[in-house]
Amino acid sequence: MTIKAVRGVHDILPAEAGKWQRVESTARHVFEAYGYEEIRLPLFERTELFARGIGEATDIVQKEMYTFEDRGLESITLRPEATAGLLRAYIEHGLFVLPKPIRLYTMGSMFRYERPQAGRYRQFHQLDVEALGDDRASIDAEVIAMLVELFRRLDLAGRLQVEINSLGDEDPACRPRHRSELVRYLRANADRLCEECRERTERNPLRVLDCKKPECRPVLERAPALDAFLCAACSEHFAKTRDYLEAMGVRYVVSPRLVRGLDYYVRTTFELTTTELGAQNAVAGGGRYDGLIKLLGGPPDPGIGFAVGIERVVQLLPDEGPGAWQKRRPGIFLVPLGDEALKRLLPVATTLRARDLVVEIGHGQKKLRAELERANKLGVAYAVIVGDAELGRGEAIVREMKSGTQRTVPLADLVAELLVPGGRA
Ligand code: HAM
């Protein structure tokens, strides 16, 4: 029996790789224009980092982590997101001594044991951005504006909506006051809520607001909304964030029920959503996490960031036909007929490739007709044919594939001939 890929993971085949390259290179471009520097992080960390960072009560930590004991009997987890690991590196390497805000980005695979469905995978990929050490609302607005700019450059901004909310903070006058009101209300209406909501009421009440089940909606729609409970400082921060967004012409809607699935958020949270991807409607999500760096043992630095789900972006991008990988397809096909000719042409291929040409070479076994058919399939501009006769005369035949016209070139001049403009693809 053949071995197939594990459920919930997927291959990115060459035909799709062009879109991935486009997303990643556009992201680098945009992030670097805003002063972000790349950081590359391990794929696994100590389990405790995520338990503490993302929150013991979250779905991610409770049921979605790939956790195992390594051979040193240490509990290890494949990263379900990048923020916790990035902050671990920030603290471990003392990056906080740099001038603030410290702007970092990273990209790569994340792992969550979720029920696979369209747009939801067990190994997926994120672009992740974090701005550390600055709590001003203008940073929140700038981070959101940069996210929108990324999608503008990908020609997708018009198909996405920016949703923002403020989750307040842990000041007793703020979110905790809302939490106790919310729990009281949810308990009072428990008989009209699903089992998961009843359980979340005790474990992670804010997340109850996120339940999409129709039977829960009537209760949840009348639940106490967080915005009425924000303390003065959080209200002001949110108002300022919106002001700056407006100053930058970023369109958004305020979604009071946007609560996010990770525990570390305070104040500004946001998502970029679409109606085109069914249930998995968030292309990106993020927010502020001012207490998290301290919680992980670092200085009391604030932070804000977001992650983009690359699979979901790629799904929105139109098929553009040949991707970058195909645009750089071979321009020259060297066809040695026999081993002596192969030995003569192999170094020619090396020289041309060193000059950045894409060169394909036949390895000498095939007949001329079969090789020319392959040259046609590859779509090369030129085929260079060297058989025993040509070798004996110190020559090569350069065939222009489109017209079929051929000319003879001294082997000694072959490289120069193929490099000159007009002499190659
Ligand atoms: P998140 O909302 O959990 O946030 O994930 C961000 C994005 O990753 C989602 O909007 C979605 O596009 C994509 N995503 C999440 N899970 C999956 C999956 N199973 N399959 C495919 N795509 C998925 C975070 O991860 C936070 N660390 C973001 C952040 C950074 N907040 C502050 N800084």
Out of 45, 167, 262, 293, mutate this one to test ligand 1's pocket (max ligand atoms within 8 Å of CB): namely: 262
Q: Are 306 and 129 in contact (CB under 8 A)?
A: yes
Ligand 1 and 26: CB distance under 6 A: no
Contact 267 CB / ligand 1 (< 6 Å): no
Tell me which residue of 54, 248, 276, 288 sits closest to 165, measured CA to CA. 288
Per-residue pLDDT at 324: 54
CA 313 to ligand 1: nearest atom: 12
Query: CA-to-CA distance for 61 and 306, rounded, in angstroms?
Result: 19
Question: Would the CB of 298 count as within 6 Å of ligand 1?
Answer: no
Q: Which of 10, 126, 265, 313 to mutate to test the pocket of ligand 1 (most atoms within 8 A of CB)?
A: 126
Q: Give the pTM.
A: 0.92
User: Ligand 1: does its nearest atom lie under 6 Å from the Cβ of 344?
Assistant: no
Do β-strands 332-336 and 382-386 pair in parallel, antiparallel, or remain unpaired?
Answer: parallel
Instruction: For ligand 1, atom 31, name the residue with the nearest CA.
Output: 286
CA of 311 to the centre of ligand 1 (A): 11
273 CA distance to ligand 1 centroid (A)?
Answer: 12
C-alpha distances (whole Å) from 4 to each of 1, 7, 9, 11, 331 are: 9, 9, 10, 11, 35
Ligand 1 pocket member 286 (CB < 6 A)? yes
Which three-class secondary structure state does DSSP give residue 237?
Answer: helix
- For the CA atoms of the chain, what is the radius of gyration? 29
**Mutation probe of ligand 1 site: the residue of 81, 127, 314 with most atoms within 8 A of C-beta:** 81
Q: What is the pLDDT of residues 158-190, one digit of tens each?
A: 999 999 999 999 999 999 999 999 999 999 999
Q: Which helix (H) or strand (E) holds 72?
A: none
Per-residue pLDDT of the chain (425 residues; tens, 9 = 90+): 999 999 999 999 988 999 999 999 999 999 999 999 999 999 999 999 999 999 998 999 999 999 999 999 999 999 999 999 999 999 999 999 999 999 999 999 999 999 999 999 999 999 999 999 999 999 999 999 999 999 999 999 999 999 999 999 999 999 999 999 999 999 999 999 999 999 999 998 998 988 888 999 999 999 998 999 999 999 999 999 999 999 999 999 999 889 898 999 999 999 999 998 888 899 999 999 999 999 999 999 999 999 999 999 999 999 876 555 456 677 999 999 999 999 999 999 999 999 999 999 998 777 899 999 999 998 899 999 999 999 999 999 999 999 999 999 999 999 999 998 444 44
Ligand 1 atom nearest to CA at 262: 3
DSSP string, 308-342: EEHHHHHHHSPP-SS-HHHHT--SEEEEE-SHHHH
Is residue 79 within 8 A of residue 50, CB to CB? The reply is yes
Q: What is the pLDDT at residue 93?
A: 98
Please report where in the chains the tokens 């790789």 appear, as a residue: 17
Atom 1 of ligand 1: nearest residue by CA position:
285
Check if 312 has its Cβ closer than 6 Å to any atom of ligand 1.
yes
